[in-house]
C-alpha cells in the first residue's frame, strides 16, 4: 500500500490528538492511525488492525512512555465496556478535549467565526454521578446469570454490577434480583431465541430526595414470587419507593416496552433540579446527571436574558425541565415535544410546582411551531431548542428565521449537528455570540453545549 500501512504491521507512534470517539491519533511516517485506549502524549507500540488508503486503526500492545495526562482507570472493565472511553485520561485533559471537540466542529462544519468559546464546565463528581442505569441480564459462558453492560458495538454482556459512574445501590439491587432468579429458576432473556423472561433491570434514583425506583423488564406478563422479590427489595434497599414490571414481548433491541405494571409504590419517584420538583416515571426522560443539569439549565436561563415580559418557545421540551425553569422568569412559555407521555409528565410537573404560565403541545416541533406562528399569530421573543442528536429539522429552522426572535438559545448533545444548524441560522440573520460546553458525562466522550445567538440587526 503506497504511503500507507498493512494489516498486522507493527508500529511505534506518539499519540498527538484524540478522535471524536475518544481514540488516540498518531502518525506512522505520516499515516494517521486511530488507537483505542491511548492518551495524547503516550508513545505506543502497536499493531495495525485495519488499513485504509488514507488512515487506519491500530491496537496498542505496549505503552512505551506514558503521557503526563495518563491516569489509572478506576473501573477494572473500563477497556472492555463500551460506556467510559476516557477513564485513563486525567479529568483536566478530558475537559480540554471536550472544548476542542466543540471548537473543531463549529469551525470545520459550521464555518463560524467571531464567537466566544468558554472553557468546559466540569463535574464536581467525576464518578457516581449517574442517577439512572439499564443493566442487561444474561448468562456467562459457564451458564451463570449475570448483569452488566454491552461491550462496545456488540451485544456481549460484560459482567458489572457496580458501575463506577452509577449509584452504589445498583450492586445490592442486582444481587437481590439475580438471587431471586436463581432461587426460582427464572431464565434471562435470550435475544437469539426470543426465549427467557428477564431482559433488563432499570434503576433510577432521585439524588435530592434519595428515592429509588426499580423496573424489571420482562418478556412476559408476570414474574414468579413477585411479592417475595418486592419484600426483599424493601427490606434491604434504603429509599426504595417504586417497584414495577415493564412488559416488553417484542423481538427488538429496544429496551423498554410501553406497558408498566406497578408492584409497589405510586408509579413514580420525585427529584428536584434547583427548587423545581419533578415526577419521574419508568418511561420518563430525565437527565442522568442532575448536578450538572442544574448548571446547564442555569446557563440556558442566563443566555435567554428574560425580564418577565417575554414569550418563549421551548422546543423538544421533554418532561418540561427547561420550560419550568424559564417560566419563573418569562411572561409565557410554550413547550413542544413529540412524546405524549413526556407531555403528560410535563403538565403534572407544572401543576405540582404551581406554575401556570406554561402551555404544552404534543407533536413534531417542525409542525407545531409553524401552526402556532403562522395560523395563530403567536410570536416568540426567545426560542430555546434542545433537540436529539440528529439536531433540528430544517423546516423548524426556517420558521425560527421567519419569526425573528431576539435570541435563540441552542442546547445540544452533539456538537456536529449543532454546528450544522448554527451555520444555517448564522447565514439567515443570526450571529453566534457565546458557546459554553458543559461536561454531563465525565469519563465519556459526549459533551453538552449551550449557545447564545442574537438577531444581527439588534
Distance CA 410, CA 365 (A): 14
Matching residue, cell 485520561: 89
Q: Smallest Cα–Cα separation from 91: which of 76, 110, 69, 61?
A: 69
Within 10 angstroms of residue 51's Cβ, the number of other Cβ atoms is: 18
Matching residue, cell 449475570: 146
Distance CA 214, CA 202 (A): 6
Residue 163 annotated to the active site: no
H runs (alpha helix) in 185-316: 226-236, 290-304
Q: Which residues contact 20 (CB under 8 A, 6 or more apart)?
A: 101, 416, 445
Report residue 370 as a C-alpha cell.
409553524
Q: 78 by DSSP, 3-state: which? A: coil
Instruction: Using alpha carbons only, give the angle 69, 124, 279 rounded to the nearest 5 degrees.
Output: 135
Q: In the 8-state DSSP scheme, what is residue 79?
A: T
* Cβ atoms 224, 216 nearer than 8 A: no
Distance CA 350, CA 373 (A): 23
Distance CA 350, CA 237 (A): 30
Mind spelling out the 3-state secondary structure of 181-201?
HHHHCCCECECCCCECCEEEE
Cα of 322 vs its chain's centroid, Å? 16
Q: 395 by DSSP, 3-state: which? A: helix
Q: Measuring CA to CA, how many Å separate 172 from each of 239, 261, 289?
A: 13, 23, 21
* Cβ atoms 43, 64 nearer than 8 A: yes
Distance CA 267, CA 260 (A): 9
Report residue 68 as a C-alpha cell.
503526563
Q: Which residues contact 144 (CB under 8 A, 6 or more apart)?
A: none
Distance CA 96, CA 456 (A): 30
Give the active site residue among 75, 84, 163, 413.
413
Report residue 297 as a C-alpha cell.
439549565
**So which residues are the catalytic ones?**
413
Amino acid at each position: 500500500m503506497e504511503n500507507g500501512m498493512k494489516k498486522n504491521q507493527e508500529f511505534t507512534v506518539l499519540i498527538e490528538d484524540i478522535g471524536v470517539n475518544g481514540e488516540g491519533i498518531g502518525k506512522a511516517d505520516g499515516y494517521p492511525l486511530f488507537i483505542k485506549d491511548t492518551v495524547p502524549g503516550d508513545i505506543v507500540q502497536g499493531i495495525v488492525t485495519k488499513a485504509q488508503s488514507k488512515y487506519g486503526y491500530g491496537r496498542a500492545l505496549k505503552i512505551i512512555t506514558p503521557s503526563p495526562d495518563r491516569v489509572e482507570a478506576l473501573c477494572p472493565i473500563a477497556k472492555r465496556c463500551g460506556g467510559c472511553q476516557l477513564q485513563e485520561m486525567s479529568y483536566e485533559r478530558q475537559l480540554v478535549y471536550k472544548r476542542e471537540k466543540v471548537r473543531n466542529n463549529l469551525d470545520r462544519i459550521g464555518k463560524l467565526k467571531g464567537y466566544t468559546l468558554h472553557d468546559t464546565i466540569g463535574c464536581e463528581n467525576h464518578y457516581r454521578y449517574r442517577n439512572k442505569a439499564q443493566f442487561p441480564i444474561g448468562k456467562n459462558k459457564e451458564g451463570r446469570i449475570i448483569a452488566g453492560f454491552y461491550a462496545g458495538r456488540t451485544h456481549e454482556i460484560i459482567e458489572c454490577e457496580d458501575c463506577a459512574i452509577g449509584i452504589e445501590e445498583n450492586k445490592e439491587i442486582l444481587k437481590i434480583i439475580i438471587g431471586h432468579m436463581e432461587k426460582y429458576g427464572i431464565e434471562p432473556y435470550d435475544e437469539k431465541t426470543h426465549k427467557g423472561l428477564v431482559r433488563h433491570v432499570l434503576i433510577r434514583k432521585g439524588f435530592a430526595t434519595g428515592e429509588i425506583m426499580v423496573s424489571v423488564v420482562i418478556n412476559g406478563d408476570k414474574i414468579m414470587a413477585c411479592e417475595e422479590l418486592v419484600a426483599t427489595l424493601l427490606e434491604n434497599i434504603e429509599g426504595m419507593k417504586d417497584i414495577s414490571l415493564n412488559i416488553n414481548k417484542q423481538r427488538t433491541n429496544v429496551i423498554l416496552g410501553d406497558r408498566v405494571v406497578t408492584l409497589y409504590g405510586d408509579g413514580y419517584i420525585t427529584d428536584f433540579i434547583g427548587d423545581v420538583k419533578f415526577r419521574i416515571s419508568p418511561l420518563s426522560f430525565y437527565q442522568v446527571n442532575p448536578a450538572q443539569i442544574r448548571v446547564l439549565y442555569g446557563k440556558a436561563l442566563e443566555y435567554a436574558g428574560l425580564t418577565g415580559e417575554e414569550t418563549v418557545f421551548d422546543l423538544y421540551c421533554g418532561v418540561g425541565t427547561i420550560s419550568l425553569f424559564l417560566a419563573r422568569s418569562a411572561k409565557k412559555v410554550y413547550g413542544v415535544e413529540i412524546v405524549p407521555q413526556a407531555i403528560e409528565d410535563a403538565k403534572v410537573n407544572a401543576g405540582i410546582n404551581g406554575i401556570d404560565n406554561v402551555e404544552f403541545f404534543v407533536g413534531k416541533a417542525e409542525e407545531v411551531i409553524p401552526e402556532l406562528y403562522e395560523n395563530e399569530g403567536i410570536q416568540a421573543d426567545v426560542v430555546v431548542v434542545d433537540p436529539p442528536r440528529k439536531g433540528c429539522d430544517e423546516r423548524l429552522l426556517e420558521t425560527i428565521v421567519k419569526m425573528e426572535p431576539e435570541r435563540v438559545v441552542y442546547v445540544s448533545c452533539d456538537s456536529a449537528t449543532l454546528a450544522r444548524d448554527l451555520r444555517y441560522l448564522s447565514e439567515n440573520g443570526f450571529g453566534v455570540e457565546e458557546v459554553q460546553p458543559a461536561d454531563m458525562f465525565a469519563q465519556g466522550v459526549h459533551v453538552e453545549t449551550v449557545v447564545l445567538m442574537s438577531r444581527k440587526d439588534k
